[in-house]
Amino acid sequence: MGVRLLSHARITDDFTVSTAFQFADMVGVGAIFGEHQNYQAGFRFQHLSNASIKEPNPGINFSQVYLQYNF
């Protein structure tokens, strides 16, 4: 869990969070592989909300699939 301070509370024309101050929960899985262990792949899920300190508290979710190469 972490804290986020958004630069704008309006995300899109149709979606606004009530405060720029948000809490973030993140969970993910991943693997490191390759002959020299220089590849990494995984999935992350993140949820942002203001923990109901101000209404409305719509929250927003992000999903990320990633592939990384380490030199």
- The pLDDT tens digits for 33-63 are 999 999 999 999 999 999 999 998 899 999 9
Pairing mode of beta strands 21-33, 2-5:
antiparallel
| pTM for this model (two decimals) | 0.75
Residue 29 in this model has a pLDDT that exceeds 90: yes
3-state helix, strand, coil in the chain (%, to 5): 0, 60, 40
pLDDT in the model for residue 42 = 98
Which region among 1-5, 20-24, 32-36 has the lowest average model confidence (pLDDT)? 1-5
> 44 is in which domain, residue-wise?
2-69
pLDDT in the model for residue 70 = 93
Instruction: Count the domains in the chain.
Output: 1
